[in-house]
């Protein structure tokens, strides 16, 4: 089976980044549609309380999965470095160690998610009217955690070697399957929120299986040989060195967002439904941010692996600027059409009012979110993942939670909660821009350093 891997160490910088980012963009688009369909079907077939149960799911799921997904980001950086350096032996070790870690992580998440879901949902202050539905949804969802983690594992390996097309194909297939199964299980069989979760599990399992088959059959240096899947401790240390800071950042940030969600929950099920609907729409703003930051991470990683420092810097600037422009354009669109977009999920006027209020508070500040994520992607590709960890822990966790705890009781409106996001995005953007322009991040982590980690 031919490889669609891409070496980004030669040729046009914009062409490499755009041609790599576009499949990621469309893949993330289908991933977002994948998430939105659950809420659309649940909201229209089952009502506002069921929508609240599903709509408030993102922060808790990300809390449970964030640490491991951060490690996979680190694994992608290691793979891209060795691929750019043409080091086949270490590349193979990195691939097989990453898959072994993914299997362990998926099993741990399955047990942890099923066991801890009720505890975390109660800690979040989930209303009693919504709690049974939320527990049901999360427990079924985490039954498929292994498939979800393995898909992320395979996807990360493909992206690290410059193949963003096959993850797109698999997401298209799984997204279409998810739509059909949602309508069948929820609308046809009447399985409620559990049916929506079950549809997601089967769809994720399908995409994971397609990724596994591709990785086993591909004729390239990153091919997976099942009998060689095992943890290499030296390679695992490199992956953890790169990935744990990103994982801690993910977990801490999602923990802070759970605090935000718990304060939204205090305003009742309709507020949960409206804000949950907005969160699904907000995911579309993350499409260019995620796509170009991932493309930039791979580009920077491969070029630093090949010791092409000036090229890495030029690619970083192009990737961040692309992130910012596209995210802001989407933000303006969501701001303008938010009443119509929220009404697709729930026609209750109060639900729409909550969702529109959040949209029109934060969407015009998406350029700040793009700056933070874009430069964080650059720094991860350069092996400096500890910098994004500290910036986001301080700005998006400590300061955000402190603001929420102090401001909400004093002001007493839900808008005071919404303002937590643009305020903390502003602070993190200032920190990242200062480091990006002042620090010598290009030379901070050379190819020889990674070999000794």
pLDDT digits (tens, 9 = 90+) for 231-271: 999 999 988 888 888 788 777 777 787 788 888 888 888 88
The answer to whether 148 and 102 have CB atoms below 8 angstroms apart is: no
Structure tokens at 10: 């030669």
| Whether residue 30 has pLDDT greater than 70 | yes
Dist. CA 369–CA 219, nearest whole Å = 39
What pLDDT sits at residue 163?
A: 85
What pLDDT sits at residue 395?
A: 93
Dist. CA 188–CA 186, nearest whole Å = 6
| Beta-carbon contacts of residue 437 (< 8 Å; ≥ 6 apart) | none
What pLDDT sits at residue 449?
A: 47
The answer to whether 6 and 162 have CB atoms below 8 angstroms apart is: yes
What's the whole-model pTM score?
A: 0.72
Structure tokens at 297: 């991470």
Cα→Cα distances 309→134, 301, 306, 316, 334, Å = 49, 10, 8, 11, 38
Band the pLDDT of 366: cuts 50, 70, 90: very high
The answer to whether 36 and 334 have CB atoms below 8 angstroms apart is: no
What pLDDT sits at residue 265?
A: 85
* More confident of the two residues 108 and 60: 108
Q: Report the pLDDT averaged over residues 363-367.
A: 95
What percent of the chain stands above pLDDT 70? 93
| Whether residue 189 has pLDDT greater than 80 | yes
Annotated domain spans of the chain: 13-452
The answer to whether 122 and 131 have CB atoms below 8 angstroms apart is: yes
The answer to whether 36 and 280 have CB atoms below 8 angstroms apart is: yes
Cα→Cα distances 379→252, 254, 394, 449, Å = 19, 21, 17, 15
What is the C-alpha radius of gyration for the chain, rounded to an integer number of angstroms? 21
What's the pLDDT tens digit per position in 287-346?
Answer: 888 889 988 988 888 888 888 888 989 999 999 999 999 999 999 999 999 999 999 888
Structure tokens at 64: 């449970």
* More confident of the two residues 225 and 7: 225
What's the pLDDT tens digit per position in 121-170?
Answer: 787 677 777 788 888 888 888 888 999 899 889 988 988 888 878 888 88
Phi, psi (rounded to 5 degrees) for 440 = -90, 70
What's the pLDDT tens digit per position in 393-444?
Answer: 899 989 999 999 898 888 888 999 999 999 999 999 999 999 998 877 876 5
The answer to whether 319 and 17 have CB atoms below 8 angstroms apart is: yes
Q: Give the start-end residues of each E strand in 268-354.
A: none
Band the pLDDT of 1: cuts 50, 70, 90: low
What pLDDT sits at residue 333?
A: 94
Band the pLDDT of 448: cuts 50, 70, 90: very low
| Whether residue 453 has pLDDT greater than 50 | no
Handedness of CA 114, 119, 124, 129 (dihedral sign): positive
Half-sphere exposure of 374 (CA within 13 A, CB side): 29
Which residue bears the tokens 């990195």? Answer: 94
**Nearest residue to 290 via CA among 374, 211, 410:** 374
What pLDDT sits at residue 92?
A: 92
Q: Report the pLDDT averaged over residues 376-390.
A: 87
Band the pLDDT of 4: cuts 50, 70, 90: low
The answer to whether 211 and 158 have CB atoms below 8 angstroms apart is: yes
| Beta-carbon contacts of residue 48 (< 8 Å; ≥ 6 apart) | 269, 270, 273, 346, 348, 351
Chain mean position to CA 332:
22
């Amino acid at each position: 089976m031919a490889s669609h891997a891409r070496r980004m160490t030669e040729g046009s910088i914009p062409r490499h980044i755009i041609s790599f980012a576009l499949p990621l963009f469309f893949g993330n688009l289908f991933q977002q549609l994948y998430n939105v369909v659950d809420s659309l079907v649940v909201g229209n077939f089952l009502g506002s309380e069921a929508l609240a149960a599903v709509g408030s799911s993102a922060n808790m799921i990300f809390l449970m999965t964030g640490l491991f997904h951060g490690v996979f980001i680190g694994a992608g950086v290691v793979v891209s470095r060795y691929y750019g350096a043409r080091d086949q032996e270490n590349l193979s070790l990195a691939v097989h160690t990453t898959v072994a870690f993914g299997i362990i992580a998926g099993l741990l998440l399955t047990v942890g998610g099923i066991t801890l879901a009720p505890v975390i949902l109660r800690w979040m202050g989930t209303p009693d009217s919504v709690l049974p539905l939320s527990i049901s949804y999360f427990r079924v969802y985490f039954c498929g955690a292994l498939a979800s983690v393995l898909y992320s594992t395979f996807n990360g390996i493909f992206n690290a070697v410059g193949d963003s097309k096959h993850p797109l194909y698999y997401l298209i297939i799984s997204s279409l399957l998810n739509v059909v199964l949602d309508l069948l299980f929820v609308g046809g069989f009447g399985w409620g929120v559990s049916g929506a979760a079950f549809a997601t599990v089967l769809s994720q399992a399908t995409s994971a299986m397609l990724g596994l088959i591709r990785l086993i059959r591909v004729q390239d240096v990153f091919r997976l040989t099942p009998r060689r899947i095992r943890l290499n401790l030296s390679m695992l240390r490199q992956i953890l060195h790169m990935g744990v800071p990103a994982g801690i950042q993910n977990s801490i940030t999602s923990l802070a967002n759970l605090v935000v969600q718990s304060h939204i929950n205090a305003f009742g099920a309709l507020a949960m439904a409206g804000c949950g609907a907005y969160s699904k729409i907000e995911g579309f703003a993350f499409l260019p941010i995620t796509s170009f930051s991932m493309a930039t991470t791979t580009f920077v990683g491969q070029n630093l692996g090949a010791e092409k420092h000036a090229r890495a810097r030029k690619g970083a600037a192009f990737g961040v600027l692309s992130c910012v422009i596209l995210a802001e354009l989407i933000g303006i669109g969501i701001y303008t059409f938010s009443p119509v977009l929220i009404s697709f999920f729930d026609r209750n006027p109060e639900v729409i009012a909550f969702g529109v209020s959040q949209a029109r508070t934060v969407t015009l500040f998406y350029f700040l979110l793009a700056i933070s994520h874009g430069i964080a992607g650059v720094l991860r590709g350069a092996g400096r993942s500890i910098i994004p960890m500290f910036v986001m822990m301080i700005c998006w966790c400590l300061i955000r939670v402190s603001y929420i705890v102090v401001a909400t009781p004093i002001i007493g409106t839900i808008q005071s909660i919404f303002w937590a996001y643009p305020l903390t995005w502003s602070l993190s953007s200032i920190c990242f821009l200062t480091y990006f322009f002042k620090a010598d991040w290009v030379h901070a982590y050379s190819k020889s350093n990674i070999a000794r980690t």
